[in-house]
Amino acid sequence: MSVPPGSIIVSDWHRFPDSREFFSRILHNKKRRKFGLLEAPMMPPHMNVDIVRYKVFISGKTGVGKSALAARLAGLDFPKMHYETTGIETTVVFWPVRLKESGRVLFFRFELWDCGESAIRRFDHMLPSCKEQVDAILFLFSFTDRGSFDDLSNQITRITESSDRVVKLVVGTKRDRKRRNTFSRSLGSSDLQSGR
């Protein structure tokens, strides 16, 4: 049975007072703490909070905004200049959630894998490492680059197989830089739907 999005967790739990104790574990001076690959939020021993891990691969043409998205999801500023990512960079993002039915609290741990497009082309082992045991792939296109959108279906077929049980999500970047006459004006909402 398929479950509609948002029906399992309380999606706006971060607004409720009882979430504060948990969010304080991922925040420092109102900013997100940085977590290394082996680190996790510290909880008092009597509060047994399980961690659910997801590996997320961010895919897209060079300059489309993969590193910027990873930084933004981690609550960090991203550089205004384009610095090509020369290999794989991982970013760990924790987010506490409350399950709707049981009221149980969990920490989601997203491990974001960001690999520069040119590194993928240059080194054969990069893509298989990013795809290994991946749970979700974000396919990025930029609202300022029609080519990045047209290339999406190629990318999805190149990176995934139809038998994959990986969640696939299409994400548009640089919407804030969208000018009049950029291609987004000619796209219908059905073009922009994400697929599995």
Beta carbons of 163 and 192 less than 8 angstroms apart: no
User: Of the candidates 85, 144, 155, 184, which one interacts with Mg ion according to CB under 5 A?
Assistant: 85
User: Which of 45, 109, 48, 118 has its CA nearest to residue 88?
Assistant: 118
Q: Which of residues 157-186 bind ligand GTP (CB under 6 A)?
A: 173-174, 176-177
Contacts of 55 (CB under 8 A, 6+ apart): 111, 113, 133, 134, 135, 136
Contacts of 76 (CB under 8 A, 6+ apart): 32, 34
Q: Which of residues 37-76 bind ligand GTP (CB under 6 A)?
A: 60, 62-68
> Cβ 173 to ligand GTP, closest distance in Å?
5
Q: Which does 63 bind (CB under 5 to 8 A by kind): Mg ion, ligand GTP, none?
A: ligand GTP
Q: Does 3 bind ligand GTP (CB under 6 A)?
A: no
Per-residue mark of binding to ligand GTP, 79-118 (x: CB under 6 A): xxxxxxx------------------------------xx-
- Of 53 and 177, the one with the shorter C-beta distance to ligand GTP is 177
User: Which of 121, 128, 154 has its CA nearest to residue 139?
Assistant: 154
- Of 1 and 83, the one with the shorter C-beta distance to Mg ion is 83
Q: Which does 18 bind (CB under 5 to 8 A by kind): ligand GTP, Mg ion, none?
A: none
Beta carbons of 74 and 67 less than 8 angstroms apart: no
Distance CA 150, CA 146 (A): 6
Per-residue mark of binding to Mg ion, 149-178 (x: CB under 5 A): ------------------------------
Beta carbons of 170 and 192 less than 8 angstroms apart: yes
Beta carbons of 114 and 89 less than 8 angstroms apart: yes
Q: Does 78 bind ligand GTP (CB under 6 A)?
A: yes
Q: Which does 137 bind (CB under 5 to 8 A by kind): ligand GTP, Mg ion, none?
A: none
Could you tell me how many residues of this chain bind Mg ion (CB under 5 A)?
Answer: 3
Q: Is 29 left (phi over 0), alpha (psi -120 to 50) or beta?
A: left
Interaction site with ligand GTP (CB under 6 A)? 60, 62-68, 78-85, 116-117, 173-174, 176-177
Interaction site with Mg ion (CB under 5 A)? 66-67, 85
